[in-house]
Amino acid sequence: MVDQKRFALFLATPDSEFVKKEYGGYHNVFVSTFGDEGEHWDSFRVVEGEFPDENDLDKYDGFVISGSSHDSFENDPWILRLCEIVKKLDEMKKKILGICFGHQIIARVRGGTVGRARKGPELKLTDITIVKDAIKPGSFFGNEIPDSIAILKLHQDEVLVLPESAKVLAYSEKYEVEMFSIEDHLFCIQGHPEYNKEILHEIVDRVLRLGFIKQDFADAAKASMENRGADRKLLETICKNFLKGRVPAN
């Protein structure tokens, strides 16, 4: 019998009422995007101080760090603990997929600089340009490397200075680092491959209601999603290939 693959999800955000009602929580959103039948996925609510025992880290094949409304450059106790765990996983060469906040945390742990986005926040469907020269054919991107990928984005911070050993895999008009990798075990994405239009719409409405954004910003966010969608299937495949060490067939 083949050993069951095990993955751990570090949730840096609480479940919204909408996500709980529609999907049963962010655990299900992530597992439905990155999981496959027969795998075991554990979630740890790191934002609430819940972490795996360090002695248990080795039993996992890979890790995913979610987005968060918290700043990745802050020094809250749970953020510092997360950084310690990521440092340990990095030393163990465990695969980690970092998304949004997670992308920034990995950059921070590896000696990069994160901070407020220089050109302001982004909340929309946007295109990121792939640095094709930085990606080996037959890697987890597959043999057909796209020129660009449409992805849903929601962030106000960014990676300002990359860690020395990092390779930029994608950039956009507003941000120099949309995706990066380090060695073969760290892959980071500023956007949200796990989001769908409904999740982002609800977040737009909520942050507008709370007064965090203005109406014209909310309208522009929704307009960006009106006539097209994110390349969710492609993003899902790339992330799964990375996490599971798959090399796509020709």
Q: What is the pLDDT of residue 248?
A: 61
The pTM assigned to this predicted structure is 0.95
Annotated catalytic residue, options 27, 100, 155, 178: 100
Torsion of CA 141, 178, 188, 32, to 10 degrees: -70
Specify whether the CB–CB gap between 124 and 224 falls below 8 A: yes
What are 130's strand-pairing partners?
A: 170
| Residue 194 is a catalytic residue | yes
Our answer to whether residue 239 is catalytic in this structure is: no
Set 27, 103, 155, 192: catalytic member: 192
Check if 100 is active-site: yes
Question: Can you give the pLDDT of all 250 residues of the chain as single tens digits?
Answer: 557 899 999 999 999 999 999 999 999 999 999 999 999 999 999 999 999 999 999 999 999 999 999 999 999 999 999 999 999 999 999 999 999 999 999 999 999 999 999 999 999 999 999 999 999 878 899 888 999 999 999 999 999 999 999 999 999 999 999 999 999 999 999 999 999 999 999 999 999 999 999 999 999 999 999 999 999 999 999 999 999 987 665 4
Alpha helices in the chain (DSSP H): 17-23, 26-34, 77-91, 101-109, 197-209, 215-224, 232-244
Domain ranges of the chain: 6-244
| pLDDT at residue number 249 | 55
pLDDT at 138: 80
Domain 6-244 fold is Rossmann fold (3.40.50)
Residue 63 φ/ψ, nearest 5 degrees:
-135, 150
Residue in 103, 122, 194, 239 annotated catalytic: 194
